[in-house]
Amino acid sequence: MISQWLYRVPTVLKWFYPSWYVWDKKASGTKTVYLTFDDGPIPEVTDFVLDTLSRKHTQPIPATFFCIGENIHKYPAVFKRIIVDGHAIGNHTYNHLQGNHTSTKEYIENTHLAQLEIAKYIDTSHNELASKLFRPPYGRIKKEQASILRKRGYDIIMYRVIGYDWDARVTPEQCLKNITHKTKNGDIIVLHDSLKAFKNIQYALPRAIDYFLKEGFKFKTL
Q: Where do the domains of the chain lie? A: 11-219
Determine the topology of domain 11-219 in CATH.
Answer: TIM Barrel (3.20.20)
Phi-psi region of 59 (alpha: psi -120 to 50; beta: other; left: phi over 0): beta
Q: Which of 38, 165, 187, 193 is catalytic?
A: 38
Instruction: Show the low-confidence residues of the chain (pLDDT under 70).
Output: 1-5, 56-57, 124-131
Active site residue 38: yes
Does the predicted model carry a pTM greater than 0.75?
Answer: yes
Active site residue 112: no
Residue-level pLDDT at 203: 98
Per-residue CA distances from 125 to 38, 72, 132 (Å): 22, 19, 9
Instruction: Read off the amino acid at residue 155.
Output: D
The residue from 24, 87, 192, 193 that is catalytic is: 192
